[in-house]
A = this chain, B = another copy of it.
Amino acid sequence: MQRYFSKEKNGQEFQLSGDDLYHITRVMRMKDHEEIEVVYEEQVFLCEIRLGEDVKVVIKTILPKVEKREQEIVLVIPLLKEQKMDYILQKATELGVTKIIPVVMERSIIRLEPSKENKKMERWTKICKEASEQSKRVKIPIITEVKHFSDLACMEGVKFVCSTREKENNLKKFVEKHQNYGTIIIVVGPEGGLSEKEEKELIKMGFECVSLGERIMRVETVPLFVLSILNFLNME
């Protein structure tokens, strides 16, 4: 069943965004009384569409909450070309990331003009919202403003940086050392990797350098690789 997120609830009805209403009426061509799921404050509601001059979304019932041990998975990524960025946001959302922090990195060729940041943020948020709907999440990942390296210092949790310099400490050893964490923070470098200076800085901040094995992966593959493994480790 199609799922949408709503920020506004009036009694037994939800308000959906114009985009969502367009999707319901024009893309999905839903019929009167057709059912959808609406997520509101991390609760899933079974609703039905009422077509009229304006489309109404009427609550039928609240669906039982599927309680799950919610870990915080924070992904720190460089600014990348639009396509790679979009791709990471979509896939990381599918794979359960809870927070994405774009960070300005030395070797990242992309520079984001402050004037353009709002527009970008809108685009990124939309991608994560749609991927959350598609993958039936009840929480849309948070994308923070573009940050600087130094901002990572205050972050608490199990922390590692994907490093091609590191040869000993691989991801397997790392996760064996750090089990049942509440928050895990993963730093992924740009093409060409993080500079030694940046890695040293992260180590000072308490990040561990971790190897992902001998494979040479494109930067946009790395987050998926790590998130897939975290999902695997959480299987019961």
Q: Which residues of A contact B (CB under 8 A)?
A: 66, 68, 91, 94-96, 134-136, 170-173, 212-218, 221, 224-226, 228-229, 231-232, 234-236
Contact = CB atoms under 8 A, between A and B. Distances in A.
Nearest to A175: B232
B232 A232 contact: yes
B235 A134 contact: no
Interface of A, helix, strand, loop or mixed by DSSP: loop
B171 A232 contact: yes
B94 A218 contact: yes
Q: How many of these chains are in the complex?
A: 2
B94 A232 contact: no
A108 to B, nearest CB: 19
10 contacts: A66-B214, A91-B221, A91-B224, A95-B225, A172-B232, A213-B231, A213-B234, A213-B235, A226-B228, A228-B228
Given A224-B221, A231-B225, A215 B171 contact: no
Contact of A229 (B221, B229, B236): B229
Contacts of A172: 232, 235-236
Contact of A94 (B221, B226, B228): B221
A197 to B, nearest CB: 24
Contacts of A214: 66, 68
Nearest to A211: B235
A68 B96 CA distance: 32
A136 B214 CA distance: 10
A69 B172 CA distance: 18
A234 B172 CA distance: 9
Contacts of A216: 94, 134-136
